[in-house]
Structure 1
């Protein structure tokens, strides 16, 4: 199969997954990841009637933003609930692992939470950040590792949210950040989105979005598109002539 055909097949798989009426389980590290990163995609899914569950591993208490809050973890938990409602998320599950230290938590333990929730939700696929975490944050990478570990055991497909390399490079030049983007040839689907409810959900995360020019600049550069990769493909049945 040629490279162009493979790319078309992967794009078709991602689009087919997004169009499926079945449930979706999003796996993230921090309150606000569901809005700042996945918000426009989750909004699109929920608006189409797809039941969306969000599993978040930490309460985000170690953030350098909103540090004036007496109990930042509690504040961010409430922000998550409010933002999820705006996005039309069906259910959120917030765990209490230490923010910034997910890399030191057993991968089997984290994957166990994903697996247990997936058994309840029965998702068509898992949605996560790209394996590099997009922002290079170790927690983001570990959350995606957990999703991929479950996918490998359960044959669930995994769709990853990524940034175009051009956008990541522009933001790194402007803000001195370490965002990691994807080249056009590894982006499987460019998805038209609306930012309206995503921006409303972002505003719910007041502790993290009030003084966050990087976030708003990213949304401006992305415009009305998001970019997705098929991190684990959907296992298709073998051709008829190969079946016994």
Structure 2
């Protein structure tokens, strides 16, 4: 594994632009959580978007669990000789192992139909996992990406059980740099909506991304995004609770 990616000058400029308007409540450490459940729409998102954050939670003492709703068979990339629906569940297991997840579940809904399924139906699966694994914090991908199904489902489940939800996001200025560098459909969030800016390590995340080897041609886009982000990740509360505001924070190593 190579040396960690540093913040390039263009990234520093985007970061400084964002920090100029950053709210004073911005936090630099993760909230306390005994058991974290990452919920994503498809295999790969748990590594490409959430890998560094989940590693930070685990290093801080949290149990990490992962749920993906589909096999990721709608991906335009396939560098294997197998059908994506057959190979990607194994890649998901390998990535979860790299992230040292305690539990990982692939729900096996058709990816192409995921957006059309009732939110309540998908949320029921998340609710079962919360209860079974005694989850006290949900983490998902938001940031105004093209598909917000997982974020919507987490919000539904979190509100029903009073479990807080954190969403991965980017500040508008950084998102703009990401779009220009990669073409990814991400618009980010306004400064006042972002609650956390974390300094992270990328090593474990990269190992988890390599586990999705059928997607290697597509990984170049996400590696370019990580170059823009440098060693920073941003999160915001999608579903906060009073308990979240009063909970002691823990450093993300």
Distance 2:70 2:166 in 1: 21
- Does structure 1 residue 127 correspond to structure 2 residue 127? no
The structure-2 alpha-carbon separation of the partners of 1:148 and 1:155, relative to structure 1 and needing over 3 Å to count, comes to same
Distance 2:50 2:108 in 1: 21
Residue 173 of structure 2: aligned partner: 166
Greater relative contact order (CA < 8 Å, ≥ 6 in sequence): 2
SS at 2:135's partner residue? coil
TM-score by length of 2: 0.81
TM-score by length of 1: 0.84
- Does structure 1 residue 212 correspond to structure 2 residue 216? no
1:168 shift after superposition: 1.9
Contiguous gaps of at least 5 residues in structure 2? 1-20, 245-253
1:122 shift after superposition: 1.4
Aligned residue-pair number: 224
Alignment of 1:112-123 (within 5 A): 112-123=124-135
Is the 1:54–1:92 Cα contact (8 Å) retained in structure 2?
yes
Residue 75 of structure 2: aligned partner: 63
- Does structure 1 residue 180 correspond to structure 2 residue 192? no
1:216 shift after superposition: 1.0
Residue 99 of structure 2: aligned partner: 87
- Does structure 1 residue 32 correspond to structure 2 residue 44? yes
1:7 shift after superposition: 5.7
Residue 157 of structure 1: aligned partner: 164
Is the 1:167–1:218 Cα contact (8 Å) retained in structure 2?
no
The structure-2 alpha-carbon separation of the partners of 1:71 and 1:16, relative to structure 1 and needing over 3 Å to count, comes to closer
1:131 shift after superposition: 6.3
Structure 1 outlier segments of 4+, above 4 Å: none
Residue 50 of structure 1: aligned partner: 62
Return the match for 2:89 from 57, 77, 96.
77
Residue 202 of structure 2: aligned partner: 195
Distance 1:181 1:61 in 2: 26
Q: Deviation digits for residues 219-238 of structure 1, max 9, x if unmatched?
A: 1111111000011112349x
- Please report the RMSD computed on the Cα atoms of aligned residues, expressed in angstroms: 2.3
- Does structure 1 residue 104 correspond to structure 2 residue 111? no
Is the 1:155–1:235 Cα contact (8 Å) retained in structure 2?
no
